[in-house]
Amino acid sequence: MSNDPKKSLGIGLAGFGTVGTGVWETLERNADLIFNRSDVKVDIVRIAVRDLNKVRIEGVSEDKFTTNWQDVVNDPKVNIVVELIGGTDTAFDIVAAALRAGKPVVTGNKALLAERGQELFELSNQFNTPIHFEAAVAGGIPIIKTVQDSFVGNSIQSMVGIINGTSNYILERMTDAGLGYEEALGEAQQLGYAEADPTLDVNGWDAAHKAILLATLAYGFTVDHKQVYVRGIERVRATDIDFAKRLGFVVKLLCVVREHANGVIEVRTQPSFIPQSHILSSVNGVFNAVAVRGDAAGDSLFYGRGAGKDPTASSVVADIVEAALGLRHEGSHRGFLPYQQEGSVMSVEDTETPYYVRFDVNDEPGVVAEIANLLADAGIGISGMHSPVHPDEPDAEFVDMVFQLHTCRFGLLKETLKKVEALSCVNSRPVVFRIEDLG
């Protein structure tokens, strides 16, 4: 390892797709700036790609490339390994091999860390070699460093994030342009905001992976992704978006991480109602934002581009510089994860919020009373009831009836709604959205 700031450190890239190209370009473009600011010089010396024929960036000499990732990790000129291939299998092998070789890792792979982080963080501890992963959450927004370093003196009370740009774009278009879900998704795909296979974006798991990483950072124990409640936006309908608007809310795919007593934390991802007056409601398009509440810092919000070539490269480059500075001073990096063993994830049944519930009911007398009685029996308070007849179908036989409910256990709500669903006047499964308390 070099202690000489004049000497360049070798970077090995595994993966040279969009982000990898962005990292190359950013390091080329701003090399002097980076050196002036940090005394760090780095060179990309080896690049593993799947297909040598697909490499077509000008200025990158051909002999850097290999199709074998071991060539990157084992190259003695490579001091820092940057994993950008995605997935959780080969990526795991690459990161594990680099850690075993004592080579710091930079990765933007949220799925890898959310699902197999425990193994990798253990290796990181064992080989005293850090994993940097700013790019794994919210692209160009430095939320990892903020939680880990800047809020080191804070007990983190909650983190609420809009951290999937694809979903946010689709919901915005449904809200502002009145598009249906499929139509908005198609538009997002056309614009390159959604992948050809958008599953992980729209089913909530991309956001959930990021929330798991944030929770792991803030609370220091490995959050098991199997215990995390995740719902996507696939079933959000225009009707609910309209109701939300009329009631002063907006629908956002929200990740909520919240601390409860005794090391229990709440971690969940779902489309939620948030007040139009809250600053998170201004987060539009493919932008991301995370609202953090610390016991000292109070309420903060971090907003920016959550994906894309250059924003993600910005975070990867920051991590490369940090890794390089760390190499100069062995062991000078921050503490490793996990930093405490205690902690557990609250069952979603036990989480509590107010709710919006929409029932598809027969338009006949007694319906409100029947539903209200079941809610009353369960001790669930009603804060509002709305039953607009569709203006274009004044004589409809079935109508949407919306209840706003006071805070109660989600488990209790589910049980109660099963009873409501069994009523003969109710035609389908009630639609539930949480109304998030962001006060």
CA distance 63 to 44: 12
Tokens of residue 286, six digits: 């493919």
Residue from 154, 189, 239, 347 that binds its own copies (CB under 8 A)? 154
Is 125 a binder of its own copies (CB under 8 A)?
no
Residue from 1, 39, 157, 362 that binds its own copies (CB under 8 A)? 39
Residue placing its CB nearer to its own copies in the complex, 330 or 393 = 330
CA distance 103 to 129: 7
Residue from 27, 72, 202, 254 that binds its own copies (CB under 8 A)? 27
Sign of CA dihedral 213, 47, 12, 142: negative
In the residue annotation, 7 being an active-site residue is answered as no
Residue from 232, 271, 311, 430 that binds its own copies (CB under 8 A)? 311
Q: Which stretch binds its own copies (CB under 8 A): 259-267, 304-312, 376-384, 387-395?
A: 304-312
Residue from 67, 88, 227, 282 that binds its own copies (CB under 8 A)? 282
Residue placing its CB nearer to its own copies in the complex, 154 or 239 = 154
> Shortest Cβ distance from residue 224 to its own copies (Å)?
20
> Shortest Cβ distance from residue 281 to its own copies (Å)?
9
CA distance 395 to 420: 24
> Contact letters (x/-) for its own copies, 88-117, by CB under 8 A?
------------------------------
Is 220 a binder of its own copies (CB under 8 A)?
yes
Contacts with its own copies: how many residues (CB under 8 A)?
61
DSSP 19-87: HHHHHHHHHHHTHHHHHHHHS--EEEEEEE-S-GGG---TT--GGGEES-HHHHHH-TT--EEEE-S-S
Is 260 a binder of its own copies (CB under 8 A)?
no
Tokens of residue 94, six digits: 């690459």
In a 3-state reduction of DSSP, which class is residue 292? strand
Tokens of residue 389, six digits: 């007849």
Tell me the CA end-to-end span of the chain in Å, nearest whole number: 49
Contacts of 143 (CB under 8 A, 6+ apart): 134, 137, 214, 290, 292, 302
Residue placing its CB nearer to its own copies in the complex, 328 or 406 = 328
Over the range 413-436, which residues count as b (16 or more CB within 10 Å of their CB) and which as e?
beebbeebeebebbeeebbbbbbb
Is 310 a binder of its own copies (CB under 8 A)?
yes
Is 152 a binder of its own copies (CB under 8 A)?
yes
Is the peptide bond preceding residue 338 cis, with omega within 30 degrees of 0?
yes
Give the residues across from 259 on adjacent strands: 265
Residue placing its CB nearer to its own copies in the complex, 232 or 326 = 326
> Contact letters (x/-) for its own copies, 320-349, by CB under 8 A?
xxx--x--xx-xx-xx---xx---------
List 110, 210, 226, 309, catalytic entry? 210
Q: Which stretch binds its own copies (CB under 8 A): 32-40, 168-176, 267-275, 399-407?
A: 32-40
Q: Which stretch binds its own copies (CB under 8 A): 149-157, 346-354, 358-366, 386-394?
A: 149-157
Residue placing its CB nearer to its own copies in the complex, 144 or 345 = 144
- Give the strand pairing for 382-386 and 131-132: unpaired
> Shortest Cβ distance from residue 313 to its own copies (Å)?
6
Work out the number of other CB atoms within 10 angstroms of the CB of residue 213: 23
- Give the strand pairing for 287-294 and 229-230: unpaired
Q: Which stretch binds its own copies (CB under 8 A): 49-57, 84-92, 134-142, 248-256?
A: 134-142
CA distance 337 to 345: 17
Q: Which stretch binds its own copies (CB under 8 A): 79-87, 119-127, 239-247, 299-307?
A: 299-307
8-state DSSP, 336: P
CB 435 within 8 A of CB 272: yes
DSSP 19-31: HHHHHHHHHHHTH
Is 279 a binder of its own copies (CB under 8 A)?
yes
Is the peptide bond preceding residue 76 cis, with omega within 30 degrees of 0?
no
CA distance 252 to 98: 38
Is 12 a binder of its own copies (CB under 8 A)?
no
Q: Which stretch binds its own copies (CB under 8 A): 75-83, 139-147, 182-190, 195-203?
A: 139-147
> Shortest Cβ distance from residue 112 to its own copies (Å)?
22
Residues that bind its own copies (CB under 8 A): 22, 26-27, 29-30, 33-34, 36-39, 134, 140-142, 145-146, 148-155, 220, 279, 282-283, 294-305, 308, 310-311, 313-315, 317-318, 320-322, 325, 328-329, 331-332, 334-335, 339-340
Catalytic center residues? 210
